[in-house]
Amino acid sequence: MHTLGEITEFIDAKLVGDPSIKINGIASLQHSNSNQLSYIVNDKYKKDLISSQAGVVILNESLLADCPTNALVVNDVYLAFAKISHYFKKQITHQAGIHSSAKINNAKINTTCVIGENVTIGNDSVISPNAIIEDNVTIGDNAYLYPNVTILQGCSIGKNAVISSGAVIGSEGFGNARDDQGHWHTIAHLGNVVIGDNVTIGANTTIDRGTLEDTEIHNGVRIDNLVHIAHNVIVGKDTAIAANTGIAGSTTLGKRCMIGGMVGIVGHLNICDDVIVNAKSTIDKNIKNPGTYTGIMPLMNHKQWQNVGLWLVKLDKIVEYLNIKLKNLKGN
C-alpha cells in the first residue's frame, strides 16, 4: 500500500488532492474503487472518468476539470502509468514442492512440480512433471496438464481443461511506454487469465495476462500449438484457433469462430459470432457479419476475394492484351 504523496514523487506528477490517502491497487476507470488508482489517456474515455469511483486518476491538464476525485497531473499519462504499475506487481519466488496452503484434493501431482501458495486444484486432475503453478491459481476438476506447463499467479483454469507441454498461461503482456529519450518502460500487467470449462490448449501456446482486467478464454474453446493470445483478448465460446495464429491485445472474438493457421489479428477489434477466417489471413478491421473471410490482401468477404483472385491469375494475359492494343494504336 502506498500514499498519494509517495506515488506523486515517484512519477513526478502534480497532485491535486490529499497526499495522505492510501492506494492498494490499480484498476480501470469503470471498475476501480476509492482505494485504487486509475488513468485516462484521451477524451474517448471522458464519460468513464466522470463516473469513476477511483481514489486517484492519472491524467493530463486538459481532463483535470472533469475529474471527480484526486488527480495526478502529468504530461505523458501512459509513461506515468507504466512506471507506477510496477509498484503493485507482486513477484513470485518459486519453491520446489507443494506449498502447505495449497488445496490439492485428490489430484495426482508429480514430485517435480512447483505448487504455490493458496493454489486450489480440483478432483481427479493430473499435473505432470516439471509443471509450475504459481500462487493463487485455481484449477478445476479433471484437468490434465502435460509436462512443463506454466500457470502464473492468479490465473483460473476451468474443469476438464487439457493444456499441452510448454504452454504458458498468464505471461506478461507486451505493453511499453516510451520516454523523451526514446527509452522503453515496460508496463506491469496486473490482470489475470480466466479460462472456462472444457478448453484445450496446444503445446507452446502463450496466453498473456490482462493489463488491468482479465484475458478471457470461454467454455469449449480449442487452441492449437504455437498460438499467441495477447493481453485482454476475449475468445468466445466454442471458438477454434489453428496453429501459429497471433491475436493482438484487447481484441474480442465471438462464439463458434474458426481461425485458420498463421492468421494475424490486430488489436482492439471486434469479430462477431460464426466467423471463419482462412489461413494466412490478416484481419485489420472489425467483422460485423458472420461468414467466411480471406485477408491475404486487405480483408474482404470471401466471395469478393474469389473474384479478385480470378483477376490476379489473369494479370499477365491482361498486360499482354493491353500491350497489343497499345502497339495497334501507335501503328495507326
Summarize pLDDT for 185-210 with one digit per residue, the tens. 999 999 999 999 999 999 999 999 99
pLDDT exceeds cutoff 90 at 93: no
Identify residue 24 by its one-letter amino acid code. Answer: N
State how beta strands 228-229 and 156-157 pair. Answer: unpaired
Q: What is the largest CA-CA distance in the chain?
A: 94
Residue 268 burial (10 A CB sphere; 0-12, 13-18, 19+): exposed
Lowest mean pLDDT across 50-54, 145-149, 323-327: 323-327
Does the predicted TM-score (pTM) go above 0.85? yes
- Which residues are within 8 A (CB) of 277 and not within 5 positions of it... i.e. 6 or more apart? 257, 258, 259, 260, 263, 283, 292, 293, 294, 295
What DSSP element (H or E) covers 329? Answer: helix 315-331
pLDDT exceeds cutoff 70 at 86: yes
Cα 87 from chain centroid (whole Å) = 21
Alpha-carbon distance values, 10 to 29, 85, 183, 244, 284 (Å): 21, 11, 18, 40, 38
- Gap between the Cα atoms of 215 and 156, Å rounded: 11
Give me Rg for the CA atoms of the chain: 25
Q: Which listed CATH number (2.160.10.10, 3.40.1350.10, 3.30.460.80, 1.10.3720.10) goes with 97-304?
A: 2.160.10.10
Locate cell 505448487: which residue? 115
Percent over 70 (pLDDT), the chain: 99
pLDDT at 332: 61
Alpha-carbon distance values, 99 to 112, 121, 137, 233 (Å): 13, 12, 12, 31
- Gap between the Cα atoms of 242 and 254, Å rounded: 16
At 137-188, the pLDDT tens digits run: 999 999 999 999 999 999 999 999 999 999 999 999 999 999 999 999 999 9
The neighbouring-strand residues paired with 294 are 300
Locate cell 490499480: which residue? 26
- Which residues are within 8 A (CB) of 211 and not within 5 positions of it... i.e. 6 or more apart? 173, 175, 187, 189, 190, 191, 231, 232, 249
When pLDDT is averaged across residues 277-291 and rounded to a whole number, the result is 95
pLDDT at 46: 93
Structure letter (DSSP) for residue 298: S
- Gap between the Cα atoms of 329 and 332, Å rounded: 5
Domain with CATH 2.160.10.10 in the chain: 97-304
Locate cell 492468479: which residue? 154
Residues labelled catalytic: 231
State how beta strands 246-247 and 228-229 pair. Answer: parallel
CATH superfamily membership of 2-88: MurE/MurF, N-terminal domain (3.40.1390.10)
Percent over 90 (pLDDT), the chain: 84
Alpha-carbon distance values, 51 to 28, 44, 54, 57, 70 (Å): 12, 14, 9, 12, 13
Nearest to 250 by CA among 291, 220, 209: 209
- Helix, strand, or coil (residue 242): coil
Domain with CATH 3.40.1390.10 in the chain: 2-88
The neighbouring-strand residues paired with 26 are 37
Identify residue 43 by its one-letter amino acid code. Answer: D
- Gap between the Cα atoms of 52 and 213, Å rounded: 15
- Gap between the Cα atoms of 26 and 24, Å rounded: 7
Q: How confident is the model at residue 325 (pLDDT cuts 50, 70, 90)?
A: confident
